[in-house]
Chains A and B, each alone.
Chain A
């Protein structure tokens, strides 16, 4: 399989000018991406983000300014964007309170599977590793294009949560989320859980060949999930924003960059004695996050070989 292109907007400010700052780099990343060939005039475009935990204890979610830039770009292509996440209408209210509202991001916030998570479409998983049928939220299922805008961070169950988990847990109904979590009991390395994630992510993308684009927001790389009612300081310094049509290459690149980075002083990365090159989420959570990457690769969802292209 040839190398997949992964676009990279670095967080580091090289020059004291706005064009070198991440919001402007992110816009350039989008302009250089395949989205201009993916989104047609009148297309309804789902943008999946995590809007935060239900108790407002966590705060290191994707900053609204970056969602706004993505929304504006989708509109410039003639698309009709909406923001979406799981957990019904109660989570929409959380998202509005966390700054993802029409005034700030310029798009409506829609629950992925209805106000009480009953609006789902059941999808059979091709060659399932762990889960045969997945409940896909109707808002994502019926969208013409899906932009998977994930926050890269740690997670106690798979070690790491990024683009794969954003689809698998964030675009599906409660029976699927529960089925994936039930897999945690099967092994201590998180293999079954991560393979369940891959099955679910594949099902979410299944009716959109060539119509899904993935973004990993590798800033505020906190040790635990955006769904947790707490946030710790990041384990590594801000890295930037990565994007690709290839979810496997994207996740591999994000993990490689996190692992090659030094840790933030005072973080649990430092407490764990981690150095550049260490598998950080394996050390912190005891789960090797590359399991999900390799499982998705084996299922034909993408390449583990990538070319990093800086914008």
Chain B
């Protein structure tokens, strides 16, 4: 199970280490290290946004990955 097409970021400055993203994530993307959430297994992210929905610190963002290359051929490279 991997790589449906999203990359997840956690802003370590904003993260309060509450673990709500860890609890919500169906694909177990996150680990909690030193009271901060780390998206250690982000190749598993399916883009469901459960982490964003629950995060009380607005610390999490998602970005699509290059697996949509078929579609992205119409657009300039980032």
Residues of A within 8 A of B (CB): 54, 87-88, 90-91, 116-117, 156-157, 174-175, 177-179, 181-182, 184-185, 223-224, 228, 268, 271-272, 284-286
Contacts and interface: CB of A to CB of B under 8 A. Distances in A.
Contact of B46 (A54, A181, A268): A181
Nearest to B55: A90
Contacts of B53: 87-88, 90-91, 116-117, 174
Task: Specify the main secondary structure of chain B where it touches its partner.
Answer: loop
Contacts of B27: 178, 182
Contact of B5 (A87, A175, A184, A272): A184
B1 interface: yes
Contacts of B50: 117, 174, 178
B68 A174 contact: no
Contact of A182 (B4, B20, B52): B4
Nearest to B58: A90
A185 B1 contact: yes
Task: Specify the main secondary structure of chain A where it touches its partner.
Answer: helix
Q: Which 8 residue pairs of A and B lie closest in terms of their CB atoms, listed nearest first?
A: A174-B50, A181-B46, A178-B26, A88-B53, A177-B48, A178-B46, A181-B4, A178-B48
A175 B23 CA distance: 12
Contacts of A286: 70-71
Given A174-B24, A177-B46, A156 B5 contact: yes
Interface string B15-38: 000001000101100000000000
Contacts of B2: 185
